[in-house]
Amino acid sequence: MSENEETNGSSQKVEQIWETPPADEIVELTKAHVGAMETMTEDIVWVQAGMHHILLETIGRKSGNVHKVALPTWNDPNGHRIVVGSFAGAKNHPSWFLNLRDRVEPNLRIRVQTGEFYSNAEILEGEDRQQTWDGLVADRDWYVNYQAKTDREIPLIRFPETEWISKN
List, run by run, the mean pLDDT of 10-residue segments along the chain (168 residues).
46 65 72 90 89 93 92 94 91 93 88 94 96 93 90 96 88
Q: What was the pLDDT predicted at 75?
A: 95
| Contact between residue 154 and residue 147 where contact means Cβ atoms under 8 Å apart | yes
Q: What was the pLDDT predicted at 26?
A: 67
| Contact between residue 132 and residue 84 where contact means Cβ atoms under 8 Å apart | no
Q: What was the pLDDT predicted at 30?
A: 81
Q: What was the pLDDT predicted at 3?
A: 46
CATH number of the domain at 23-167, please? 2.30.110.10
Domain boundaries, the chain: 23-167
Q: What was the pLDDT predicted at 5?
A: 40
